[in-house]
Amino acid sequence: MLLCLPVAASVFNGQTLDFADLVEAELAFWYARGAFQRTAPLAFWWAALIVATRPRDAAAIVEPLRPYLDYPVDAGCCSIPIARVVYAVRAKDSELLRAFAAPPSVERAPWHRAHDLLAKGAAMAALRDSSGRTELAEARRIFGALDAPFYAAYAANALGEATEDESDLLRSLGIEVARIRGTSGAGSRPKAQPFGAPTFREQQVAELVARGFSNRKIAEQLTISERTVEVHLSNIFGKLGLSSRTQLVRWAVEGRATTWPAAIVSTEFELPRSAI
């Protein structure tokens, strides 16, 4: 289950994994043995990472886990409820979000309760239920009392109320910070994406997609594997709230000049013959 840690980090900060085959081999091993609960933490993190570019594969990973959703999650370092919510948000699965917004009521230790509240509040926010702010605020309070600054900052960010110190912590981990509520209007920053801003490499991939490159051509141009290209695209779609290459092309053409550094936009690549 140590594989959960780098996969979770990639979900949060958009960094690319170079061992996707190993993750999928691990999942296949346990799924073949029907040990769905044992591998649920890794399954949800991986499904959240790939759902934008491989929705069928992600759904196939999550489907066997649905009978176990009523079981309280042991919020250890890998198995935390927010993983399930992140997947549901990215998959636009309202059924799952409703399930996570109404978890079973059980007595829990403060650490587990705080994670339950964080996941519930995030699910409610995704369902546009403003009462989820109560859960997020309580999760922030408990995490603060437990000296868990990352999760306290994450809950505060979900509320749009992160302090400067909390914002600095999140930024240092590659997580985009939400705009503070009440600062909209002329001159305010554009609304941040919930799971981070595209990295330099992701911006390069998006640029090549906009220029008509296939995944294979992108892999050749950047000297990476096609699977890595898929992961980059999954991260980009999740961060920008997109669901197709067509939407990405439109977004890049209409918004990149004011959203990405000029060095990214002006980077020269060799066009594939099909695009000439």
> Which pLDDT score, from 0 to 100, does residue 43 have?
92
Q: What is the CA radius of gyration of the chain?
A: 19
Instruction: Decide if 190 is inside a domain.
Output: no
- 172-176: long-range contacts (C-beta < 8 A, 24 or more apart)? 173/12, 173/13, 174/12, 174/13, 174/14, 174/15, 174/199, 175/12, 175/13, 176/239
Q: What is the separation, in whole angstroms, between the first and last Cα of the chain?
A: 47
Tell me if the pTM is above 0.75: no
Residue 190 has pLDDT above 50, yes or no: no
Q: How many independent structural domains does the chain possess? A: 2
Given 152, 172, 192, the domain boundary residue is 172
Report the distance separating Cα 245 and Cα 233, nearest Å.
9
Identify the domain containing residue 270 by its residue range: 200-275
Give 255's pLDDT tier (boundaries 50, 70, 90): low
Report the distance separating Cα 238 and Cα 223, nearest Å.
23
Instruction: Decide if 32 is inside a domain.
Output: yes
Do 237 and 137 share a structural domain? no
Instruction: Decide if 213 is inside a domain.
Output: yes
Higher pLDDT, 236 or 78: 236
Do 141 and 236 share a structural domain? no
Report the distance separating Cα 250 and Cα 258, nearest Å.
14
**Which region among 113-117, 190-194, 235-239 has the lowest average model confidence (pLDDT)?**
190-194
Instruction: Decide if 165 is inside a domain.
Output: yes
Instruction: Decide if 125 is inside a domain.
Output: yes
Give 228's pLDDT tier (boundaries 50, 70, 90): confident
Instruction: Decide if 26 is inside a domain.
Output: yes
Residue 214 sits in a domain of what CATH number?
Answer: 1.10.10.10
Q: What is the mean pLDDT of residues 182-203?
A: 51
Do 164 and 38 share a structural domain? yes
Output the DSSP codes for 127-151.
TT-TTHHHHHHHHHHHHHHTT-HHH
For the ranges 87-91, 100-104, 247-251, 271-275, the maximum mean pLDDT occurs at 87-91
Do 30 and 81 share a structural domain? yes
Residue 118 has pLDDT above 90, yes or no: yes
> Which pLDDT score, from 0 to 100, does residue 254 have?
67
Report the distance separating Cα 214 and Cα 193, nearest Å.
26
Do 45 and 86 share a structural domain? yes
Q: What is the mean pLDDT of residues 131-153?
A: 93
Do 163 and 223 share a structural domain? no
Do 153 and 73 share a structural domain? yes
Q: Please list, in sequence order, all residues whose beta carbon lies within 8 angstroms of the beta carbon of residue 29, skipping any fewer than 6 positions away.
A: none
Given 128, 156, 172, the domain boundary residue is 172
Residue 84 has pLDDT above 70, yes or no: yes
229 burial (CB, 10 Å; 0-12 / 13-18 / 19+) is buried
Instruction: Decide if 194 is inside a domain.
Output: no
